[in-house]
Amino acid sequence: DAARLTYLLQSIDSRQTVDLAVVASQGMDNPVYYVQMAHARIHGIARRAAEAGFERAPLADVDLSLLTHERELDVLRSLSELPETVVSACADRAPHRVTTWVRELAGAFHGFYHDCYVVGDGVSPELTQARLWLVESARVGLSVGLDLLGVSAPESL
């Protein structure tokens, strides 16, 4: 996973540079760890929500207009770019665009994770439901992007 994603970070037309110490590390500087950690955090949120008695309600019953926090909107914006990113990456044979998008979605999700509680005190059940759907959408986006790149999407790290 590390080698594949690292090489796909850059255009095939550019000179490839790889910092092996970063790639071997288990820190947020490692692009593979960074993206996979976002995916693992999503699964952690789902587990905590289930432990607290929350299951995602049917989407038709959820008020997504409650998603107004800047970090929520960052995740939504990033998700909205997936179709265009995949089309342009395929058309131009530029897989690094998908890699860049996956990193950007992971970054948006990490920001959301740090700034927005999904389940807990001060979060209404209605907002929890909207955020659970946002988290699920991010999971699907990361899973699709990582699958396109041939990189695993672990549920825990």
Residue 46 located in a structural domain: yes
Q: What's the pLDDT band for 34 if we cut at 50, 70, 90?
A: confident
Task: Give the pLDDT of residue 152.
Answer: 81
Dist CA 105 CA 99 (whole Å): 10
Residues 6+ apart with CB under 8 A from 117: 123
Task: Name the residue range of residue 49's domain.
Answer: 2-149
**pLDDT value, residue 154:** 76
44 vs 5, residue with greater confidence: 44
Closest CA to 31 of 113, 86, 106: 106
Written as six digits, the tokens of 67 are 């998603």
Per the structure, how many domains does the chain have?
1
Give the pLDDT score at 18: 54
Is 117 part of any domain? yes
Q: The tokens 């929350």 sit on which residue?
A: 54
> In this predicted model, what pLDDT tens digit does every residue of 73-115 receive, in sequence order?
999 999 999 999 999 999 999 999 999 999 999 999 999 999 9
Q: How many CB atoms are located within 10 Å of the residue 33 CB?
A: 20
Instruction: Answer whether residue 156 is part of any domain.
Output: no
Note the pTM of the prediction, 2 decimals: 0.84
CATH code of the domain containing 82 = 1.10.730.10
